[in-house]
Structure 1
């Protein structure tokens, strides 16, 4: 069960990552705006899912620490490079285009899920992270080199800090009988 303190942390993360609730009220008048809005929503959702997964599969909160280290490192490197390089965005609105922060955060989240829980969970997360990168290009906020760099940074940081979680030790399948009928018994150990 997720504790009240954990819910507060998830709420704070959603606000920190571009306040996705404010984007839901924007009028979708063009393809660019749709992609920007959906990418903005996903950049808040992916870290929230990653953090929530570390509360669901408990192991002394090592997952929470690993995700925090990955995310903080990803954000620090991304913003350090943005300030150092100061590249103009394709739409000409502002500077700090390289690398894509949305993409680096999304890929850090997807890589955390994949590295920690395996490709079964990671593949859909990578698809969503890839869409975030695509949305940044489509909305003319970044070009492909910005997005690729963001993906490399986010994935790299999660691979450095995240250790695989052994789900097999928590889930056991064994043959059993119920009223003389052969069945399979699934046991999940909550620690």
Structure 2
């Protein structure tokens, strides 16, 4: 029994690491779609008709997909697991960073930092799954961030500006409402 116990421990550790790796990969697969989906949902909740946020996201996300798919077919870099020649750049990472950078550019760093952390996890999940290396993930992130920054405008809430001016020994107060 003492000789078998280390085998059970080894088997448990090995099977646990496989399950953890699979759960990391699955989490990355889900997050690469969840981040753009949250970004899309936000365009319906926080509307400002002047900037058409849904159209901004469609342009950013769509152009990122077109760029990364074109590069995959031009570069033809083999994946680390050698299953095909479409490693560069990472599509999962492009999608995740497109959603994350849309959220950051539109709503600020308060929401952007957690979004970027989740997008970075997607990149990590692709490396640990042996589908990409660091350069593939970095290129995907650059494409996702770049296209979002080109097409996304910050969300502008209705603003009231108060101005106080001194005129002829007195003061005037002005209100400017922007909508």
> Would you call these one fold, judging by a TM-score over 0.5?
yes
Whether 1:89 aligns to 2:89 is no
Partner of 1:58: 47
Structure 1: gaps of 5 or more residues:
1-27, 172-190
Counterparts of 2:81 and 2:73 in 1: how far apart (Å)? Answer: 18
Deviation at 1:94, TM superposition (A): 1.4
Which residue does 1:104 correspond to in 2? 94
RMSD of aligned Cα (Å): 1.8
Aligned residues: 144
Out of 107, 114, 128, the position equivalent to 1:124 is: 114
The superposition leaves residues 35-73 of structure 1 with CA deviations (integer Å, 9 ceiling, x where unpaired) of 110100101111110000000001127110000000000
Report matched runs for 1:145-184 at 5 Å.
145-167=135-157, 169=158
1-side partners of 2:21 and 2:72: how far apart?
23
Q: Distance in 2 between matches of 1:71 and 1:38?
A: 20
Structure-1 residue corresponding to 2:5? none
Give the C-alpha shift of residue 107 in structure 1. 0.3
Residue 114 (structure 1) aligns with: 104
Q: Please say if residues 48 and 156 of structure 2, whose CA atoms lie closer than 8 Å, have aligned partners that are also in contact.
A: no
Unaligned runs of 5+ in 2: 1-16, 161-178
TM score, norm. by length of structure 1: 0.72
C-alpha change, 1:33 and 1:170, in structure 2 (3 Å) is farther
The answer for the alignment partner of 1:133 in structure 2 is 123
Find the partner of 1:33 among 19, 22, 25: 22
Deviation at 1:141, TM superposition (A): 0.6
Q: Could you list the per-position Cα deviations for residues 123-161 of structure 1 after superposition, in whole angstroms to 9, with x for gaps in the alignment? A: 110010000000000111100000000000000000000
Q: Which has the larger radius of gyration?
A: 2
Distance in 2 (CA, whole Å) between partners of 1:70 and 1:157 is 5
Judge conservation of contact 2:65–2:91 (CA < 8 Å) in 1.
yes
